[in-house]
Amino acid sequence: MARRINKHLRPARPLGSGHASSVDKRDGTWVVRSIAGGSSTKAYKCPGCHREIPPGTAHVVAWPHDGGWQVTSPVSERRHWHNGCWTRRS
């Protein structure tokens, strides 16, 4: 019988160098990773505009920077943003 893995307990994919950057916003420092449209296979809800980011749409994933999160991040902390919504965010 195959073992089910709880996706909320599974570690995130490691980020290779050059794939993520650190960005300062008014609420702290964030790690930001660009997602190419071809790599996006799921729909997400943008926290900036609360609209859907459809599969196949280029966007960014951001999560709070906290020392050890540079390589992996808790799945619950990552947020998918439209590129424009993230850029307009102060």
The structural domains of the chain, with segments of one domain joined by +, span 20-88
pLDDT in tens, 39-79: 889 999 999 999 999 999 999 999 888 755 455 556 678 89
Q: What is the pLDDT of residue 69?
A: 47
Q: What is the pLDDT of residue 12?
A: 47
The model's pTM is 0.70
pLDDT in tens, 19-30: 788 888 888 889
Q: Please answer whether residues 21 and 55 qualify as being in contact, where contact means their C-beta atoms are separated by less than 8 angstroms.
A: no
Average pLDDT over residues 5-13: 44
Pairing of strands 79-81, 20-25: unpaired
In the chain, what's the furthest Cα-to-Cα distance? 49
